[in-house]
Structure 1
Amino acid sequence: MKKNGFSLIEILVVTAIMGIVMLISSPMINAFIGAQDRLYNQSKVDSRLNEVVEFIKRDVRNSRSDSSLGGEPVGVFNDDTLLSEGTTGKKIIIYTTDLNGNPKYVQYTIVGSDLKLKDGDSFTTLGDNSIILSNIKIGEFKYQDKILLFHFKIDVPKRLEGKVRNEVRDVGITRINLE
């Protein structure tokens, strides 16, 4: 007698084997998806932080001494000694040049959880704020011995805490000591 199709037992055995294979492979699939998520978010955070670091370093590299900043190329200000009305948080003002070599002032200000950028031709009349980094948990600037130090730590979603690098500490050097 000729058989057409599969018996019930054959279908149950194949289903059981497929179920076991799925149980064994599902942790690997979840790990792969988690790794992809971490890599994507890490590159996103790194990209944001690197862009800001390069902005600051470029301005520091091109900085010039200025009497408005006490003869220094960079001035760091705390909440107690704000220079512009309505600004709160930590900020630096850098006397630098634009791409054409014209002098300008650049201000990086941490307001709440945002890093804002202003620039202008005059120390007292800087342009509008533009947010260049948001979700800042910790941010600080320190200028000492003609070296600008800065540190930013970004808030990341709970699911990524401890799994992605979310901070940067960097240095923008304003002088090269040849001694």
Structure 2
Amino acid sequence: MKKKGFTLIEIIMVTAIMGIVMLMFSPMIDAFMGAQDRLYNQSKVDSRLNEVVEFIKRDVRNAKSDSNLGGEPVGVFDDTDTLINDGSIGKKVIIYTTDLSGNPKYVQYAIDGSDIKLKEGSSITSLGNNSTILSDVEVGEFKYQDKILLFHFKIDVPERLEGKVRNEVRDVGITRINLQ
């Protein structure tokens, strides 16, 4: 008589072997999924930070000297809106530049709580509405000295990503020499 199907011993052996194989591969699958998650989140953080950095560097590069900013193209202000002249750290920077048509404009980047806000206007006293360009800012500071704007931002990331993704940027914006 021909035997049909598997014996109980064969089924137990196959199940045990499959279990051992799954135990060997599960850490690799978990590590792969974790790496994918970190790469995705690092990409999101990098794009947010790089966008703000490029905005600031572009405006500083195109800045022009202005008497409202102490004869400088860039002015850093403290919490009381006082212009800082000694190279100290401030929470707001105003840049005098021009728009695409060549008309003068002032651009302000300010740390407001946990946000970096952008304002623009044709005069230093008539800066327009706030628009948030970066949120969840843990640390934000500006320092201007010798035609160089140094800035540092650190954004708050979820606890599961702490120490696993780069969440801060330190960069500089250098003004052009004003030959006027």
TM-score by length of 1: 0.92
Structure 1 SS opposite 2:80 = helix
Residue type of the alignment partner of 1:54 = E
CA drift at 1:175: 3.3
Separation of aligned partners in 2, 1:113 and 1:127 = 20
2:116 corresponds in structure 1 to 115
2:33 corresponds in structure 1 to 33
How many residues are paired up?
Answer: 172
2:8 corresponds to 1:11:
no
Separation of aligned partners in 1, 2:176 and 2:145 = 11
Per-residue CA shift, 1:125-177, capped at 9, x if unaligned?
Answer: 0110000001111000000011100000111111111111111000000135x
Per-residue CA shift, 1:90-149, capped at 9, x if unaligned?
Answer: 100000111222110000000111000000111100110000001111000000011100
More divergent stretch after superposition (99-108 vs 48-57): 99-108
1:24 corresponds in structure 2 to 24
1:48 corresponds in structure 2 to 48
1:160 corresponds in structure 2 to 161
User: Contact 2:63/2:176 (CA < 8 Å) preserved in 1?
Assistant: no
Structure 2 SS opposite 1:106 = strand
Structure 2 SS opposite 1:48 = helix
Give the alignment's Cα RMSD to 1 decimal. Answer: 1.5
Per-residue CA shift, 1:63-96, capped at 9, x if unaligned?
Answer: 000111111110100113358xxxxx81000001
User: Contact 2:62/2:176 (CA < 8 Å) preserved in 1?
Assistant: no
User: Contact 1:137/1:154 (CA < 8 Å) preserved in 2?
Assistant: yes
1:22-171 equivalent positions in 2, closer than 5 A: 22-81=22-81, 90-171=91-172
CA drift at 1:28: 0.5
Unpaired stretches in structure 2, ≥5 consecutive residues: 84-89
Unpaired stretches in structure 1, ≥5 consecutive residues: 84-88
1:174 corresponds in structure 2 to 175
Moved over 4 A (4+): none
User: Contact 1:115/1:136 (CA < 8 Å) preserved in 2?
Assistant: yes
Structure 2 SS opposite 1:81 = coil
Residue type of the alignment partner of 1:167 = E
Separation of aligned partners in 2, 1:145 and 1:104 = 22
Structure 2 SS opposite 1:122 = coil
Separation of aligned partners in 1, 2:152 and 2:172 = 9
Separation of aligned partners in 2, 1:81 and 1:100 = 29
Structure 1 SS opposite 2:176 = coil
Separation of aligned partners in 1, 2:59 and 2:120 = 11
